[in-house]
Structure 1
Amino acid sequence: MRRFAATLAAAALFAGSACQQPAIAAERIVEAPAAQRTAKEGSGLKTAIFAGGCFWGVEAVFSHTKGVTSAVSGYHGGTARQADYKLVSSGVTDHVEAVKVVYDPSVVRYDQLLRIFFSVVADPTLKNRQGPDRGAHYNAELVPLSSEQRAVASAYLAQMKKSGLWSQPIVTSVEPARKFYPAETYHQDFAVKNPRHPYIQRWDAPKVSALKRLYPSLYRAEFRRN
């Protein structure tokens, strides 16, 4: 992710990997269809992992979603030794930037999270990139953590492919769960801590605004801190 640092301390870590990319057209917002196969997950908190490009925006959207109790930025896959921002952002590891989401299915179901994800977070037609970010570590992936989530995710992708809402082929995949490593502390709650950061203003604030506009019943104004 080519971006500026939030603080002087973080600046050194971001040097050489920044958000200094040429201007790129705004991401297209597509209101994804309501799922034909709804999730039946029972009671109690559930967990799922979503990879959709830069984890700042994924976390920001889900942290503003009712029923989500925790959204943690991190690295999915790869090894513990290489679960480091400088290494992951260089593209030399097997990680993808991802967010582990804990939610209450009595408030927001997994299929509703999928709809939000594909409406305002990730473009399902892009491979190894999202927004201004390029590389396999920015690939959009669904990582179910239960058989029910996997069935719902597979059914929803099939439904999306038949919907005709996207002009290009849908390439987002359902991936097996591997180890999830929380990202460095300065990445957590990044959007709320750095609302004036150029990357947040340009790419992520519009996603939160779209969540509020498209799904007002699932939007909450207060930011859920991890």
Structure 2
Amino acid sequence: MNSLRTFTTALVAAGACAFAVLAVAGSEARVIPPFSSTEAGKPAESEVAVLAGGCFWGVQGVFQHVKGVSNAVSGYAGGEKKTAIYEVVGSGLTGHAESVQITFDPRQISYARILQIYFSVAHDPTQLNRQGPDTGMQYRSAIFPVNEEQARITRAYITQLDSAHVFKSAIVTKIEPARSFFPAEAYHQDYLTLNPNSPYIVYNDLPKIEDLKRLFPDLYRATPALVSGSRRAG
């Protein structure tokens, strides 16, 4: 009992993302069909995508291990700048979702492939206003397109997946264009890499990295692109 009490205390101290870590982790990852249409030409060397899929620690960790991604920053999107504060966002009343801003090279990986990883490995898009053990609007599944092309691809891909009944339930991912992204506090950045023994990370997020490696071996890289640039996984 003492060990359980110590474990529970550690979870509370770790913050809202660590709440109810003993609950069953997210559903089994799967390879879903790629986007069946085409994307516009990508002459730019860099593009940004903003995605939300539960606690940002795991989503950031997944995309830091994707080839072609140069940066993945945890933060908040969907609300105002003045409420982009972890303790305030945790109320679920700010409109913000814990999100990740992903910077990638479209010559190496397309936006549609980013979405394929997002839907199949990073989270479960059929869970409404929750993800695994975390509940509330701040943990909703949402995509924040930065331009109309991204919005078009996102809408078409969700329609494609729902029409093919890829998941047992309908995709509930919200498409929320014209939203600003605000980086989270420094202690949230690179959290998965810096805290690999955290109970929350072990149960909920490290399996996502293994799923990425197993299901997308051509896109997986062992060395993550960290925000800090100081520590690297082997």
Say whether the fold is shared (TM-score over 0.5): yes
Matches within 5 A, 1:151-190: 151-190=152-191
How far apart are 1:57 and its partner, in Å? 0.6
* Bigger mean CA deviation after superposition, 194-203 or 163-172: 163-172
Question: What is the TM-score of this pair, normalised by structure 2?
Answer: 0.87
Deviation at 1:3, TM superposition (A): 9.3
Deviation sequence 1:83-134 (CA, Å, 0-9, x none): 1111111223211100000000011100000000011112121110111110
Partner residue of 1:216? 217
Q: Separation in 2 of the partners of 1:96 and 1:205? A: 21
Change (3 A) 1:84 1:216: same
Counterpart secondary structure, 2:90? helix
Q: CA separation of 1:3/1:224 partners in 2, compared to 1, >3 Å: closer, same or farther? A: farther
Residue aligning to 1:33: 33
Structure 1 unmatched ranges of 5 or more: none
The question of whether the paired residues in 1 share the 8 Å contact of 2:75 and 2:183 is answered with yes
CA distance in 2, matches of 1:4, 1:80: 30
What is the percentage of aligned positions where both structures have the same residue?
43
The alpha-carbon deviation at position 200 of structure 1 amounts to 0.5
AA partner of residue 34 (structure 1): P
Q: In structure 2, do the counterparts of structure 1 residues 3 and 149 end up closer, same or farther at CA, with 3 Å as the change threshold?
A: farther
How many aligned positions are there? 219
Task: Find the aligned partners of 2:211 and 2:9 in 1 and give their Cα distance.
Answer: 22
3-state SS in 2 of match to 1:90: coil
The answer to whether 1:201 aligns with 2:199 is no
Alignment of 1:1-226 (within 5 A): 4=10, 11=13, 14=15, 18-40=18-40, 41-226=42-227
In the alignment, residue 202 of structure 1 is paired with which amino acid?
Answer: Y
Q: What TM-score do you get using the length of structure 1 for normalisation?
A: 0.90
CA distance in 2, matches of 1:204, 1:25: 9
Q: Check 1:201–1:21 CA distance in 2 against 1; reply closer, same or farther (3 A cut).
A: closer
Letter matched to residue 139 of structure 1: R
RMSD of the alignment, in Å? 2.0
> How far apart are 1:26 and its partner, in Å?
4.5
Q: Residue 192 and residue 148 in structure 1: after superposition, are their counterparts in 2 closer, same or farther (change >3 A)?
A: same
Deviation by residue 1:48-87 (Cα, 9 ceiling, x = unmatched): 1000010001100000000001100001022222111111
Verify the 8 A CA contact 2:67 2:109 in the aligned structure 1: yes
Shift of 1:4: 4.5
